[in-house]
Structures are given as C-alpha cells and as structure tokens.
Amino acid sequence: MSEKNQPEGAEASTLALEYKDGQPVIAVSGGSAIPPKVMVVDEQGNPVALYSAEAITKPQARAAFTTADHALIYEAEHGLFDVGFATAWQLGRY
C-alpha cells in the first residue's frame, strides 16, 4: 500500500456499485485489499458521496459458556442473532 493507505497494483481490488432489492451495494472483486475511503463522483466529476470503511470487531467471548445459547449475540441493528460463536462452541464439544 502507498503512503496514503491506498492499495496499488495487484493488491488493489475492483469496486462496483450494484443494486440488490433496490438498495445500493458495493461489490468487491479481485485483489487482496480495498481502499479505506472511496469517493463517488457523478458524470461531471463532482463528488456526490464518500464511502469509508473501518474494522469491525467482534465482542470478546465471556468466561466459559455452559450452553450454546449463552454464546448467541443479538445484533440489534439488524434484529438478528449472530450464531457464529454458538456454532463454534457446539462444534468444539465434539
């Protein structure tokens, strides 16, 4: 990566804006890195949006769980449960 934290050459991924169910989605393909900030411009080159990314950290696992249910994480923003830790806990028992 360059001094500006922008990937270059083969490590740079290709970004595209696609629409799924009427919602814009940034699709990433190729490369091994994406820029932390992406400026979106219109046909005349005027900035219209700035997308920025930051690392998502998972909560630290608490002390020993006694059941997989204890490892469920409720994602209030989406109204869903993240079952990753619960699944890993259950698989680790065998």
- Predicted local confidence at residue 78, as pLDDT: 79
Burial pattern 43-70, b for ≥16 Cβ within 10 A else e, equals eeeeeeeeeeeeeeeeeeeeeeeeebee
- Predicted local confidence at residue 3, as pLDDT: 47
Domain boundaries, the chain: 9-52, 58-94
- Predicted local confidence at residue 1, as pLDDT: 43
pLDDT tens per residue across all 94 residues of the chain: 444 566 666 677 777 778 888 888 878 788 777 777 778 888 888 889 888 877 666 666 556 778 888 888 888 887 888 888 888 888 887 6
- Predicted local confidence at residue 2, as pLDDT: 44
